[in-house]
Amino acid sequence: MIPFLQIGQLAIPTFGLMVACAMLAAYFLLRADLARRGIADKKSGEAETLIAAPCLAGFIGAKLYHLLESPAELFADPIHLLFSPYGFAWFGGLLAGFGTFALVAWRLAKRSATSGKNVSLLTIFDAGSPAAALGYGVGRIGCFLSGDGDYGIPTSLPWGMSFPNGLVPTTERVHPTPIYELIVACGIAWWLWRLGTPAAGSRRPNAKPGQVFAAYLILTGVARFLVEFIRINPRSFLGMTNAQTAAALSMIAGVILWRWTQKRYREKS
């Protein structure tokens, strides 16, 4: 594995590099989706804000959540742990990133109402869903390259891999779960993009507002829930990992939202 790219005296963490690539991939896909839906022109700068603000908040949330999981370690060496390039919790990043995206999206929806576009908050969440799925998948390449412990349990399958030079090394052949997640995330992003594709001659997609986002919550929840069975994360709540608990809640929320949108627009029609 390649935890760092060495360029002269400069060591570039591959995890951080791939997170930057994930942000770029998500940005271009989101910008294209906002444009095709008529929400914001590609030159408006809205996509930049919708990506940059949640990503920054996600980094902070992931770091703080990880630190607060082990308060004794934090108090023992707070400066080192606060500024360490390692130690991020996916769940903390999810909470902070999602909350910030919701705030930025709400402000965009409010501005659209004053300009006469009347774009709903759910429509903006729909536009952000394929980008979120793609960005997550690309970011997982960083976990794979750095060998940061996000790999799976030992396996005898022919594609099992060892990470002897990883940040969390192992010489056993294990499931390369970041690769699994990359493949699934790209498939989810592609399907969500198709689901949100407007009908011919229209800017309105066939899916009702909120349904692409609902599908995102369900599909990504299922994917993360299943992959956790072959991950090395510790179990906590009802024998599930923290990520599985979050994934289960995501699936439940997605099903509720999908059924609500179906009922809402059936009543309107």
Q: Tokens in use for 246?
A: 């979050």
Question: Mapping DSSP to helix (H, G, I), strand (E, B) and coil, where does residue 170 land?
Answer: strand
pLDDT in tens, 118-130: 888 999 999 999 9
To the question of pTM greater than 0.75 for the whole model, the response is yes
CA neighbours within 13 Å on the CB side: how many for 78?
4
Most confident of the ranges 94-103, 176-185, 202-211: 176-185
154, 192 Cβ separation under 8 angstroms: no
pLDDT in tens, 217-253: 999 999 999 999 999 887 877 788 888 988 999 999 9
pLDDT in tens, 184-194: 999 999 999 99
The CA-based angle 100-104-106, given to 5 degrees, is: 115
